[in-house]
Structure 1
Amino acid sequence: MALTERPKDWHFVVPLPEAKDSQHRFSQVWTLDLKEPLSCGAQEFPFPSPVEVSVKTQRTPEGADVLIGITGEVATECRRCCAPLTVAIQQEFMYSYILQSEDVGKVQEEEELFDDSNRVVLPVPWLGSGIDVTDLVWECLVVALPLYATCPEGCIEIDSLLPAEDRMDPRFLILADLMDEEKQKGGK
């Protein structure tokens, strides 16, 4: 059965350097052996090999930065010609945990500080010695999926090999059969 939500047994916690230590970084790596495909966007994505998740943390004056990397392969099909493909995934996602201020306006100013960067800002009331990134890892894995993969060298031009009356997207053959049945029944 395909995964449609985060597996219940996932638990990823990364350590954080002490609050005063902005130079030190911690890293953690996990290997996910996904036996079931992941279902997303009306497609199923099997993983032919394990997926590596790397997480790096660093303290900042505002709170902490978390960099999540997803590396692996996913099986899919070309969106143009329906040929099977194996697509490499190598994505990085940046999250900035910022400590909420007593002053609501200050939180908005802190969020604007990161507004133009490629990171997600997560306001938090406090930061301990570690961060649970389980939900973020799931989010990153889903976002990293190639929903519109196409053949890297270009699709085989099936249309050019067929006579004009046979040129049809293979995904619409079922609809063509249904239309033929309706015409035989006397429908329009």
Structure 2
Amino acid sequence: MALTERPADWRFVVPLPEAKDSQLRLSQIWTLDLKEPLSCGAQEFSFTDPVKVTVETQRTPEGADVLIGISGEVAAECRRCCAPLTVAIRQEFMYSYVLQSEDVGKVQEEEELFYDSNRVVLPVTWLGGSVDVTDLVWECLVVALPLYATCPEGCIEIDSLLPAEDRRDPRFLALADFVDEEKQKGGK
């Protein structure tokens, strides 16, 4: 059965450097051996290799930055020609945990501080010695999957290889059969 939500047994906790040490970076690496495919965007992705998750943390004057890297390989099918293909996934995501101040207006100012950067701002009231990034790792894995996987060299021109009666997209065969049945019944 394909995964549609984060596995319940996942737990990813990373240490944070001490608040006074803004130069120190701490990192943690996990290898996920996903046996079930992941269902996303009406497509299933099977993992051909274990997925490597790298998380790096660093304190900032505002709170802490968390950099999550996802790398692996998935088997999918081309969205144009339905041929099987393998796609490498390698993405990095930046999250900034910003300590929420007592002033409500300051939160908006803190979010505006990072507005132009490629990071997601997560307001928090407190930061301890570690942070649970389990939900973020799941989010990053799903977002790293290809939205529109296509053959890298370009698809084979199906129209030129097949006779005219076989030039239908195989994904629509069931629909075409249904339409033919309806026409035979006298439907529109």
Specify if TM > 0.5. yes
Q: Does 2:158 match 1:158?
A: yes
Shifted more, 80-89 versus 166-175: the winner is: 166-175
Letter in 1 for 2:80: R
Counterpart in the other structure of 1:185? 185
Q: Does 2:104 match 1:72?
A: no
Q: How does 1:38-49 map to 2 (within 5 A)?
A: 38-49=38-49
* TM-score normalised by the chain length of structure 1: 0.96
User: Structure 2: where are the runs of 5+ without partners?
Assistant: none
CA distance in 2, matches of 1:124, 1:178: 53
Large movers: runs of 4+ above 3 Å: 163-166
Identity of aligned residues (%): 87
CA distance in 1, matches of 2:119, 2:11: 23
CA distance in 2, matches of 1:167, 1:44: 25
Counterpart in the other structure of 1:129? 129
Post-superposition CA distance 1:80-103 (Å, at most 9, x none): 000001100000000000001111
- Aligned-residue RMSD, C-alpha: 1.1
Post-superposition CA distance 1:136-185 (Å, at most 9, x none): 00000011111210000000001122344442211111222222222333
Counterpart in the other structure of 2:104? 104
* TM-score normalised by the chain length of structure 2: 0.96
Letter in 2 for 1:26: L
- How many pairs were matched up? 188
CA distance in 1, matches of 2:49, 2:104: 46
CA distance in 2, matches of 1:39, 1:145: 10
User: Structure 1: where are the runs of 5+ without partners?
Assistant: none
